[in-house]
Amino acid sequence: MGSLETERKTTGWAARDPSGFLSPYTYSLRNTGPEDVFIKVICSGICHTDIHQAKNDLGMSNYPMVPGHEVIGEVVEVGTDVTKFAAGEIVGVGLLVGCCRNCRPCNTDREQYCAKKIYSYNDVYTDGNPTQGGFAGSMVVDQKFVVKIPDGMAPEQVAPLLCAGITVYSPLNHFGLTKSGLRGGVLGLGGVGHMGVKIAKAMGHHVTVISSSDKKKVEALEHLGADEYLVSSDAEGMQKAAESLDYIIDTVPVSHPLEPYLSLLGLDGKLILTGVINTPLQFLTPMVMFGRKEITGSFIGSMKETEELLAFCKEKDLRSMIEVVKMDCINTAMERVEKNDVRYRDLPGDASHLKRFLLSPMLSAQVSSFDTCNTSTSFSFRQNHNRFLVNPVVLLPSKQRRVHLRRVAKVPIVAGETLMKHLDAFTKKIGRNVVLELFDTKEDPKTKAPKKSRGAVLKDWSKKAKVKAEWVH
């Protein structure tokens, strides 16, 4: 193993000013030591916090700044005193990379509340060097703040758990809201919100999604498995749901009224704030007095809780809904996150590890082009009056793992020769190292499989394009 005492350089994507625009930036990694882990970054999730920090929304940004705090990487080297990790393992790094280790929070496995905690970026490490995040080629991190990704879990699926997932899991765990049968609410259906629904449902809760419009109703109920959906402007619906919830996870990262949501809580109900908001929130005290309700907050989670969360998600087979983009499309991805145009996390990755195209839930097809920065590469078509969804599966060079691209790409619904043209354009865009899987949304009720005649176009095309294609049913 090589020396860990030498200084390394890496290249990341940094914001240089409050415009938040990211561009390549080469910098030195801090000197590594006996307790450190040197990590080659595979991918990193984009969170609203990354945007707040890059644009100095909180008035405390330092530049140049490399964001990224949902980081997945491969261990390259470890320090002489590292006992938890070995080279070649897949690991994760979240929002923190340091703490004092002497205060009450640190001594009780709640280091995220340490007054001297060190953030993974836009902070200063103990050696005086600035910390930089995961939108980069590599990182050096103290082993205390590195978590091993359990075998069998896809790395890109785990990234959002390191912030969005743990932000939900920690308060549910801390406030004793993990028992089955509780009635919970999730306010806001973004990166944190979608994990809130999944985790709460896995705990056996009755989950109500609360949103400002009905735009995400189908997603919430049909794709995420929520039990109910409330539109906050629907006075009648809100009145019917009054005092029906045991808790609400409030994920909204901008200023909003609290009183409409406090009215949904029953006796001793908890409104748990998780969004970073830089303006004051107001409410009338009787709203909490008459029902002994609580307004509280929660900040990410501890490393111990993160390990528990990963084990929980593996046991329950919980997966985040993500889109994967290549790193040179990072600014487009950041803009989409800011506009809430992502389902539900964008993941910039390293080209040597993954062919990056957008990943997201399976939704209805729309019209667009094959632009690699802002569209996915799946599409649907009609044949014999049935709709089919074409999903590419990207093969990773290392372990030949399959990553299912779950968004129905924005490509016209087509048939016959038009279909052939789109399939040809598709393979020219992403190369031949793919497996195409056809999902028949109207299966034969008797055989539960597509009829042979429906595979004719696929068979002819796959032979011509020299691409493996198969039915999935």
Give how many domains the chain has, as a whole number.
Answer: 3
The reply to whether 335 falls in a domain is no
The reply to whether 43 falls in a domain is yes
Whether the bond between 64 and the residue before it is cis, its omega within 30 degrees of 0, is yes
My answer on whether 190 and 148 are in the same domain is no
The reply to whether 331 falls in a domain is no
Of 265, 297, 329, the one marking the end of a domain is 297
Asked whether the predicted pLDDT for residue 453 surpasses 70, the reply is no
Three-state SS at 273: strand
Q: What is the pLDDT of residue 426?
A: 52
- The DSSP secondary-structure symbol of 455 reads G
The reply to whether 240 falls in a domain is yes
My answer on whether 120 and 172 are in the same domain is no
Q: Tell me the percentage of the chain whose pLDDT exceeds 90.
A: 56
The reply to whether 328 falls in a domain is no
Rounded to whole angstroms, how far apart are CA atoms 262 and 176? Answer: 19
Q: What is the mean pLDDT of the chain?
A: 77
Alpha-carbon distance values, 169 to 128, 164, 178, 196, 244 (Å): 33, 9, 9, 8, 21
Rounded to whole angstroms, how far apart are CA atoms 36 and 77? Answer: 9
The reply to whether 342 falls in a domain is no
Alpha-carbon distance values, 334 to 6, 12, 51, 327, 405 (Å): 34, 15, 7, 11, 20
Which residue is it, tokens 């001793």? 268
My answer on whether 151 and 176 are in the same domain is no
pLDDT tens sequence across 171-225: 999 999 999 999 999 999 988 999 999 999 999 999 999 999 999 999 899 989 9
CATH of residue 257: 3.40.50.720
Q: Which of 93-102, 122-131, 440-449 has the lowest mean pLDDT?
A: 440-449
What domain range includes position 31? 9-163+303-316
My answer on whether 172 and 290 are in the same domain is yes
Nearest to 85 by CA among 17, 130, 146: 146
My answer on whether 16 and 155 are in the same domain is yes
My answer on whether 395 and 257 are in the same domain is no
Asked whether the predicted pLDDT for residue 24 surpasses 90, the reply is yes
My answer on whether 93 and 194 are in the same domain is no
The reply to whether 404 falls in a domain is yes
* Both structure tokens of 251: 């994920």
Interstrand relation of 245-250 and 183-187 (parallel, antiparallel or unpaired): parallel
My answer on whether 30 and 155 are in the same domain is yes
My answer on whether 134 and 43 are in the same domain is yes
Which residue is it, tokens 């009145």? 239
My answer on whether 202 and 71 are in the same domain is no
The reply to whether 322 falls in a domain is no
CATH of residue 110: 3.90.180.10
My answer on whether 401 and 383 are in the same domain is yes
My answer on whether 23 and 149 are in the same domain is yes
Asked whether the predicted pLDDT for residue 422 surpasses 70, the reply is no
Q: What is the pLDDT of residue 300?
A: 96
Alpha-carbon distance values, 171 to 109, 114, 127 (Å): 14, 17, 33
Q: Which of 41-50, 150-159, 304-313, 460-469 has the lowest mean pLDDT?
A: 460-469
Is the distance from CB of 106 to CB of 100 less than 8 angstroms? yes
Asked whether the predicted pLDDT for residue 345 surpasses 80, the reply is no
